[in-house]
Structure 1
Amino acid sequence: MFERLHIEYAKKGWRASNRRDEFPQMTRWVIRQETVHAFERFLRWVTKEKAPERASKGKKPIAAGLSVPQSLAQKGFQSIKLPNAPTAPSKGLHVVAHQHNIPSFPEHLAEYLSRIEKKKARTPQLYKAAKDLPFARIDVYHSFRLELEGLNDDDGEQDWVKASPLDGGRYDTVVVLDGDEADMVSLNGTRIGRVHLIFTLPRTMRIGSNDMPLPVYWPNACPLAYITWYTKPSQNAAAKASHNMVSVSKEMFQGAPRWSIIPLSNIRQSCMLVPDFKKTNSRIWDTDKCVLDTCTHFYINNWLSLYSY
């Protein structure tokens, strides 16, 4: 805890200074950060207060299995680096869906953008199907790198996340920030997801015979990830006393995996899932296929990294 405070209130302030007469600059930096956080809390309070008012105007609730546009805010303890060029530039939506084994991706993308339109646009443009989208191609990446700030005075950790269909496919599991209490360590305020696709939207869309820029409220400059969810981490007394690992299982909705499209900045790190073989028949997992595809219940190996312990 105290090392965390040292990073927040000393190291970051010193890095923001010009290294000359640094203490007044560090103090001013901390005051400004606290002012920003106070204003963010005020905005959350205002949003919460107005939520019942918006609900009373007849807005339909969001179905439990659908994607919700999430915050694009990036935590200060992480940095994300994509390759300089897309691995598969300008790839057709249906080709991507076939190669990455996510057949409903075009429809889910249309639904995701429709929800952004409902939330942000004065005159929402809704897309009932993939054919209604004003573009047909996206840029696809097969990996990205995460750099986490060191817990002490070291250089931190570098972490790669892959979502590649090559060589039989590799789709990594990750820890996703899911609440305001989420921090750089532990699993509090997080959920586990599996990354099936890393992509960015095109810069322009086709309207009639003209190329037009995308709406400014769309995540144009933000790399996105298509993920499927696991249940929230839980732990019983027996597990805590023996191996101290928390358990998750695949989360389903109406017979299909629950999905979301999220900004890459919501991903904190990769993680390792260990199958709970007691809850899965050996004939299911003892195959040549990936256990992430065949098993349904897992433990999170929180011994793999200091950031997930």
Structure 2
Amino acid sequence: NLPFTAVDVWHQFKLTPEKLLDPPEQAILKAFPIWRGTSGSAPHYDTVLVLDSDEAESTAVQGCRAARLRVIFWLPKVIHQYGLPLPAPAHWPTQPLAYVTWFTRFKPAPDEATGMYRVEPSTSANGSMLGEIVPLSSIRQGCMLVPGRGVWDPHWTAQTMLDE
């Protein structure tokens, strides 16, 4: 039983990734579910790089992990326990959070033929996606994923290819 019935949810946030040589640019990262009552709408969950260890480098993928941004939220400051409103526990995070579903960790070196890193969705033994709640501040930047050689399915669309 959770001591709250709702959380504040956002569907996008602006991020200014660190750039070494170029002027900073804002990126908008999104997590849109399917909207009830709207026909033809598709969910939109951006892929992001999440800081995964203290060994993260400023310009490489070491210490980062690719993930899909599913929900951006903030835990409530007031909870209800025994029918009374109480302050949230002191150990709860006070910053915005994100629920992400993971891709596999990056290998030490990119693929020799393409120069790109290869990742796949991280799944449990029963095939369900592995996910985690992380501080929103641990999202380093957005990233793009492309299908590997020879795996293109003609039925894929931009909205569905990461779900299949």
Q: What is the CA–CA distance in structure 1 between the aligned matches of 2:57 and 2:156, rounded to whole Å?
A: 37
Q: Is 1:215 aligned to 2:89, yes or no?
A: yes
Report how many aligned residue pairs link the two structures: 156
The residue matched to 2:68 in structure 1 has which SS?
strand
Instruction: Judge conservation of contact 1:184–1:268 (CA < 8 Å) in 2.
Output: no
- Which residue of 2 is the match for residue 176 of structure 1? 50
- Which residue of 1 is the match for residue 4 of structure 2? 135
- Which residue of 2 is the match for residue 243 of structure 1? 114
Q: Is 1:290 aligned to 2:163, yes or no?
A: no
- Which residue of 1 is the match for residue 134 of structure 2? 262
Amino acid corresponding to residue 117 of structure 2 in structure 1? V
Question: More relative contact order in 1 or in 2 (CA 8 Å, sep 6+)?
Answer: 2
Unaligned runs of 5+ in 2: 36-40
C-alpha displacement of 1:281: 6.8
- Which residue of 2 is the match for residue 196 of structure 1? 70
**So what's the TM-score if we normalise by structure 2?**
0.86
Q: What is the CA–CA distance in structure 1 between the aligned matches of 2:13 and 2:72, rounded to whole Å?
A: 8
More strand by share: 2
Q: Deviations over 1:129-154 (max 9, x none)?
A: xxx110010000000111123313x4
Identity over aligned residues, as a percent? 38
1:231/1:213 CA distance change after superposition, 3 Å: same
What is the aligned counterpart of 1:161 among 17, 26, 29? 29
**So what's the TM-score if we normalise by structure 1?**
0.47
Instruction: Judge conservation of contact 1:149–1:155 (CA < 8 Å) in 2.
Output: no
- Which residue of 2 is the match for residue 232 of structure 1? 105
1:150/1:287 CA distance change after superposition, 3 Å: closer
1:223/1:277 CA distance change after superposition, 3 Å: same
Root-mean-square deviation over aligned CA pairs = 1.9
